[in-house]
Amino acid sequence: MKKTEQLLEEIRETNLTYLILAQKMIRADRVQALFRLGVSEAVADILENLSIAQILKIAASNMLMCGFRFSDEIVWNLLTRDSADSNVEQVHAAILMAGAAAEAA
Amino acid sequence: MTRRRSVVDDAREVRIASELVELGARVQVLETETGLSRERLLRLYKEIRKKSPPRGMLPFSTDWFMAWLPNVHSSLFMQIYQNVIQGSELDEIEAIIQAYRLYLEYLHTAGLTQVLSFTRAWRLVKFVDAAMLRTVPCTHCGGHFVVHTMELYDHFVCGLCRMPSRAGQTGGFRTERRERAAVH
Instruction: Encode pLDDT of B82-122 as tens digits.
Output: 999 987 888 999 999 999 999 999 999 999 999 999 999 99
Under 8 Å CB pairs connecting chains A and B tally to 79
Fill in the DSSP letter of residue A75: H
Spans of chain B below 50 pLDDT: 170-171, 174-184
Phi, psi of A20 (to 5 degrees): -65, -45
- Residues in chain A with CB shorter than 8 Å from the CB of B102 are 32, 35
Q: According to the model, what pLDDT value does residue A87 have? A: 84
Residue B165 makes CB contacts below 8 A (sequence gap 6+) with: none
Q: According to the model, what pLDDT value does residue B152 have? A: 81
Q: Which of B87, B111, B168 comes nearest A88 by C-beta? A: B168
Distances (CA, A) of B135 to B7, B144, B152, B162, B172: 39, 6, 12, 17, 23
- Residues in chain B with CB shorter than 8 Å from the CB of A72 are 142
- Residues in chain B with CB shorter than 8 Å from the CB of A93 are none
Q: According to the model, what pLDDT value does residue B177 have? A: 44
| ipTM surpasses 0.90 | no
Fill in the DSSP letter of residue B63: G
Chain A's closest residue to B106, CA to CA, is: A94
Distances (CA, A) of B14 to B4, B21, B39, B44, B96: 16, 10, 13, 9, 16
- Residues in chain B with CB shorter than 8 Å from the CB of A88 are 160, 163, 167-168, 173
Q: According to the model, what pLDDT value does residue B167 have? A: 60
Q: How far apart are the C-alpha atoms of A28 and A31, rounded to whole Å? A: 9
Beta-ladder partners of B148 = B133
Query: Identity (one letter) of the amino acid at B160?
Result: L
Nearest chain A Cα distance for residue B170, angstroms: 13
Chain B contact present for A101, CB below 8 A? yes
| Interface with A, mutate which of B102, B141, B145 (most A CBs under 10 A) | B141
Taking an 8 Å cut-off on Cβ atoms, the answer to whether B143 and A88 are in contact is: no
Q: How far apart are the C-alpha atoms of B137 and B131, rounded to whole Å? A: 16
Taking an 8 Å cut-off on Cβ atoms, the answer to whether A85 and B173 are in contact is: yes
Q: According to the model, what pLDDT value does residue A84 have? A: 66
Q: According to the model, what pLDDT value does residue A104 have? A: 57
Q: What global pTM score does this model have?
A: 0.86
Contact A35, A101 (CB under 8 A): yes
Per-residue pLDDT of chain A (105 residues; tens, 9 = 90+): 789 999 999 999 999 999 999 999 999 999 999 999 989 899 999 999 999 999 999 999 999 999 888 888 889 999 888 776 778 899 999 999 998 766 655
Report CA Rg, chain B: 18
Chain A's closest residue to B91, CA to CA, is: A31
Contact A75, A92 (CB under 8 A): no
